[in-house]
Amino acid sequence: MTLAGKAAIVTGATSGIGAAIAEAAGAAGVRLMLVGRSAERGAGVVRRIADSGGEAFFLAGDVAEPSFAERALGLAVGRFGRLDLLVNSAGIIRRGAIDKTSDEDWRAVMTVNADGVFHMSRAAVRQMKKQTSPSGGVIVNVASDWGLVGGRNAFAYCASKGAVVQMTRAMALDHGGDGIRVNAVCPGDVATPMLDTRPEIVEYGRAEGYRMMGAHVPLQRIARPEEIAKAVLFLASDDSAYMTGAMLSVDGGSTAG
């Protein structure tokens, strides 16, 4: 996978899957703008990328804010001269069935998980359509297996990731002719801070909770963030040049049947 010299924005890059994507991309020679809400954690990811010989800088901000995307895009293009790749990894979860989901929970999840993808992708597409030598670019969205099938006690999250899946398909149809490929990775359970809010882990602790959750997966374990990052880099690279509008399940087989 040849990615060296590409210019990218990775959102949600301060922890979990987003941080793993950023570090893998940095190691592959991608020039990076990292986006997240914690300047302290962002600085740590930038430092690890620099220590491995990569190039990255961090912009603190919230993708839920409508004006943020254009500002981030402007800074990235000002630094790199173009944008080859956008990875929409920012996401949050508020757990609960519909009768336990407040208006505030719904809005919080949808504004980050769905509106954030909308605003960042719109800004990226406008830039990518203007680019030459080479034209276009790539968008990779981090959706979820719960964007493909239902999940219990995560009503707003499931709705938001279903929206990400459909935005991915719609953008792929609309912008293939512009040289822009748009795909999504759909992870299952991954060992991240977000997963640590699951009731099994809260009650039994991380080691036992992970074991219990992995027992329900065909591969008998949950994923590591680095495994999701590898799938994202594949979709970002020319090795997936004939893929667009695809939902790449990286879920240990949990949606196979």
With a CB cutoff of 8 Å and minimum separation 6, the contacts of 177 are none
Grouping H, G, I as helix, E, B as strand and the rest as coil, residue 10 is strand
Percentage of the chain modeled with pLDDT above 70: 100
DSSP state of 148: T
- Closest to 92 in 3D by CA, of 73, 70, 71, 114: 114
Per-domain residue ranges for the chain?
Answer: 7-188+226-247, 189-222
Tens digits of per-residue pLDDT, 235-248? Answer: 999 999 999 999 99
- Residue 184 structure tokens: 């999504």
Mean pLDDT of the chain: 97
12 contacts 5 by C-beta, under 8 angstroms: no
- pLDDT > 90? residue 143: yes
With residues binned 3-state (H G I as helix, E B as strand, rest as coil), the percentages for the chain, rounded to 5, are: 50, 15, 35
Angle, vertex CA 126, rays to CA 125 and CA 127, nearest 5: 90
125 contacts 86 by C-beta, under 8 angstroms: no
Tens digits of per-residue pLDDT, 10-68? Answer: 999 999 999 999 999 999 999 999 999 999 999 999 999 999 999 999 999 999 999 99
184 contacts 143 by C-beta, under 8 angstroms: yes
Q: What are phi and psi of 149, to 5 degrees?
A: -130, 165
Question: CATH top-level class for 7-188+226-247?
Answer: alpha beta
Determine the pLDDT at residue 1: 67
Determine the pLDDT at residue 97: 98
Enumerate the active-site residues. Answer: 157
Mean pLDDT along residues 103-122 = 98
Starting from the edge strand earliest in sequence, which strands make up the sheet with 247-250, in order?
55-60, 31-36, 7-10, 85-88, 137-142, 180-187, 247-250
Percentage of the chain modeled with pLDDT above 90: 96
Q: If residue 235 lies in a helix (H) or strand (E), which one and from where to where?
A: helix 225-236
